[in-house]
């Protein structure tokens, strides 16, 4: 992708969002031998730690359930923030699966180095166009480096690669077939709403709350991060159960709740989140199955999600949120590609953060 800054819509983030169906179709092409070899190492490991930072940490969270269920690893699969794995342990015995788009994050490379020193298997899910990450025995590539600082296609392809790896570990051919169907479902999803109108309706809120459950806890965290990075808006992400145990007390009618609630075990508690938002008078945008009348009746707006298994739904559920966030950014006059690094104070802040 071009790294030349764009002064207006369509920004690079827009292109990356719409590139996702094609990127997913090509994701594992030519990587079958690496995928199979990595799956063998993971399947025989006593423990499997999935580690990342930022969006890659959210992908690791979604990956934990993919490896536990589809990969049939159960409690052997654990997601851990790469910083915590390096600075606080535990000893990364067994295997470490590190997720990193750029391949250069110090904590991700540190996690891989610790794992190699402990004799653990090491696998990386990384973007193309990078030499690293150093210390990985097997590297599975996702997409070229994004021109936008607000990573989108690199997130969905990382989650999809983890799903493909989990299916290989668990010898789950049905999950593989379901993954193959997702690009066409995404192509339909990308065109189903008037995103500019939605942004106009739900812009200028005091605070944005993003709530999901199970595998879509990761989606909630990721969408809140993108609201911060791309649209420069105050946003928080929660697991549905955590939201219902206190944070709702700070919800106000001039906020917006974005709820990710496909069919699955967390749907019942997501319905309770919708009831809380309704009782307080905060508008709700619900990402739900097309026939979900319970949550739909409480929502100011619904977005119909494709019918995919809940474990794979983070690949699809993030897409409409990316589009809404992009158009919220346009409405607010924010450049979603820069993370405000082109502004003096925020440029200094980015340098101070080491990001």
Sequence spans of domains, the chain: 12-181, 191-332
Write down the pLDDT at residue 45. 97
- Can you give the pTM of this predicted structure? 0.97
Write down the pLDDT at residue 261. 98
Mind listing the pLDDT tens digit of every residue in the chain (355 residues)? 456 889 999 999 999 999 999 999 999 999 999 999 999 999 999 999 999 999 999 999 999 999 999 999 999 999 999 999 999 988 888 999 999 999 989 999 999 999 999 999 999 999 999 887 989 999 999 999 999 999 999 999 999 999 999 999 999 999 999 999 999 999 888 887 799 999 999 999 999 999 999 999 999 999 999 999 999 999 999 999 999 999 999 999 999 999 999 999 999 999 999 999 999 999 999 999 999 999 999 999 999 999 999 999 999 999 999 999 999 999 999 999 999 988 889 989 888 988 6
Give the dihedral sign, CA 29/30/34/36.
positive
- CA separation, residue 30 to residues 142, 161, 342 (Å): 12, 13, 38
Give the residue among 258, 16, 321, 324 at the shortest CA–CA distance from 157: 16
Determine how many CB atoms are found less than 10 A away from the CB of residue 188. Answer: 11
One-character DSSP codes across 127-180: -SS----TT-SEEEE--PPPSSSS--HHHHHHHHHHHHHHHHHHT-HHHHHHHH
Q: What span, in angstroms and rounded, lies between the C-alpha atoms of 14 and 17? A: 5
Write down the pLDDT at residue 2. 57
Architecture of domain 191-332: 3-Layer(aba) Sandwich (3.40)
Residue 323 CA to its chain's centroid (Å): 14
Residue 198 structure tokens: 């939605």
Give the residue among 144, 133, 140 at the shortest CA–CA distance from 168: 140
CATH number of this structure's domain 12-181: 3.40.50.10490
| DSSP code for 340 | T
SS3 238: strand
Buried b (16+ CB within 10 A) or exposed e, 157-170: bbbbbbbbbbbbbb
SS3 287: strand
Q: What pairs with residue 138 in β-bridges?
A: 123
In the block, tokens 């929660």 appear at 238
Write down the pLDDT at residue 160. 98
Residue 108 structure tokens: 């991700």
Tell me if domain 12-181 and domain 191-332 are identical in fold.
yes
Give the residue among 210, 213, 90, 101 at the shortest CA–CA distance from 146: 101
């Amino acid at each position: 992708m071009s790294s030349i800054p764009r002064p207006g819509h369509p920004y690079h983030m827009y292109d990356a969002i719409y590139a996702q169906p094609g990127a997913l179709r090509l994701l594992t092409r030519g990587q079958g031998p690496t995928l199979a070899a990595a799956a063998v190492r993971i399947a025989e490991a006593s423990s499997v730690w999935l580690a990342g930072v930022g969006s890659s940490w959210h992908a690791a969270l979604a990956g934990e359930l993919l490896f536990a269920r589809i990969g049939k690893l159960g409690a052997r699969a654990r997601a851990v923030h790469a910083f915590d794995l390096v600075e606080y342990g535990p000893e990364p015995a067994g295997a470490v699966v590190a997720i990193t788009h750029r391949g250069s994050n110090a904590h991700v490379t540190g996690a891989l180095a610790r794992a190699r020193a402990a004799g653990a298997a090491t696998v990386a899910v990384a973007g193309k166009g990078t030499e690293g990450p150093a210390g990985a025995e097997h590297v599975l590539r996702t997409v070229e480096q994004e021109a936008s600082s607000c990573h989108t296609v690199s997130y969905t392809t990382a989650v999809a690669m983890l799903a493909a790896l989990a299916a290989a570990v668990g010898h789950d051919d049905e999950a593989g077939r379901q993954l193959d169907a997702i690009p066409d479902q995404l192509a339909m999803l990308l065109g189903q709403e008037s995103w500019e109108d939605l942004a106009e309706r739900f812009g200028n809120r005091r605070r944005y709350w993003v709530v999901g459950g199970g595998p879509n806890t990761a989606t909630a965290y990721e969408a809140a991060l993108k609201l911060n990075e791309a649209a420069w808006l105050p946003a928080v992400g929660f697991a549905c159960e955590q939201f219902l145990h206190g944070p709702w007390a700070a919800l106000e009618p001039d906020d917006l709740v974005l709820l990710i609630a496909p069919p699955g075990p967390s749907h019942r508690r997501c319905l309770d989140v919708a009831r809380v938002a309704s009782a307080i008078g905060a508008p709700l945008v619900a990402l739900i199955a097309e026939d979900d009348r319970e949550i739909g009746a409480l929502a100011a707006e619904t977005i119909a999600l494709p019918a995919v298994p809940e474990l794979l739904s983070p690949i699809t559920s993030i897409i409409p949120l990316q589009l809404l966030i992009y158009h919220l950014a346009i409405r607010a006059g924010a450049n979603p590609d820069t993370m405000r690094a082109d502004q003096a104070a925020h440029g200094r802040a980015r340098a101070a953060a080491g990001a």
